[in-house]
Amino acid sequence: MEPVRFGILSTAAIAEHLIGPLRQSPLTEPVAVASRDGDRAAAWAARHGLPVSHASYEALLADARVEAVYVPLPNGLHGAWTRAALEAGKHVLCEKPLTASAAEAHDLFALAAERGLVLAEAVMYRHHPQTAAIGRLVAERLGPLRALHAAFHYPIDGLDGDVRARPELAGGALRDLGVYCVSALNLLAGGEPRTVVGRARLHAGGVDVGFAGLLSYAGGVEATFDCSMDGALSLGLTVVGADGTLTVPNPFQPGRPAIWAPRRCPAEATLTTADGEETVALPGGDPYRFEVDDVARAIRGQGGFTVSAGETVGVLRTLDRLLAAA
């Protein structure tokens, strides 16, 4: 399979997580980066061994060498630049959340389908084999679902000056961190919630710096989550069934001990049933590598997995409802 040639639309910090896998994978080849600051783009390209840098996003989209674009821009810019990339004939891998609303995402997926292009939201944990392993454990060992809880708290240094604290850029804890929780809850519960309750704790700039939600799903399954951008590092997933409980300490950044201390987030889960408690080993590996490989295969028509339009829009619709409720 010929490697998919990627261009990176900005030098945002999250792009540092993806450039390594893009370079290491035999299925992808990063060929260009763009920034509104030409010197910054050139320095970033030199540091990461990219042959081309562009001093504008428009120039990268016009570059015939670029087949696919990775969009790591602030949330509020995802929709406009994803649309611009699709209109330029490029496949798109866009950071989560794909857009600031479900309606905008629906329109972008329709445009991608019309153009015969792959549009994928970069929810990297969904590509990791740990996520599939959790799904199997829940289905095979827990019995009918009763309740779920997810949490993702990540302290952001210098939050007052961070783009994630700017409401005009669709910032806030729910979109930045809660999106993982809602994604996992919807996935395990089998769809979108019937009703939601949301509570936000606001930052001085107006975005939600902390968020908590209660989601009620079909079959009487109740779920809760909490997230924040100023709380101590904490994340996890608990699934309660009629026959047992599964606790996963690191559901959203599997295989990344450099970020999450191994003692805090080991690659394992705890399964508790009437027979006792057991530790279940979970798969390892870099979620970003699984993500780029899957998206590349999808672009080449080789069957790679991408999060479906229905799943992405469903999660965004749930976020819309939670924000409205709060």
Site of tokens 């994803």: 82
Q: Which amino acid is at 51?
A: P
**What's 174's DSSP letter?**
I
Question: Of residues 54, 78, 91, 96, which has the active-site annotation?
Answer: 96
Residue 301 buriedness (CB in 10 A; 0-12 / 13-18 / 19+) = exposed
Residue whose C-alpha is closest to residue 51's, from 8, 81, 3, 94:
8
Residue written as token pair 């951008």: 229
Contacts of 61 (CB under 8 A, 6+ apart): 7, 9, 69, 84, 85, 88, 90
The Cα 67–Cα 72 span in angstroms is 17
Vertex 110: Cα angle to 314 and 61 (nearest 5): 110
Q: Using CA of residue 138, residue 141, residue 146, residue 150, what is the dihedral sign?
A: negative
Q: Are the C-beta atoms of 296 and 27 separated by less than 8 Å? A: yes
Q: What is the rounded distance in angstroms from the CA atom of residue 310 to the CA atom of residue 87?
A: 21
1 vs 11: CA distance, rounded Å:
28
- The identity of residue 274, as a single letter, is A
To the query of whether residue 90 is one of the catalytic residues in this protein, the response is no
The number of CA neighbours under 13 Å toward the Cβ of 322 is 33
Residues labelled catalytic:
96
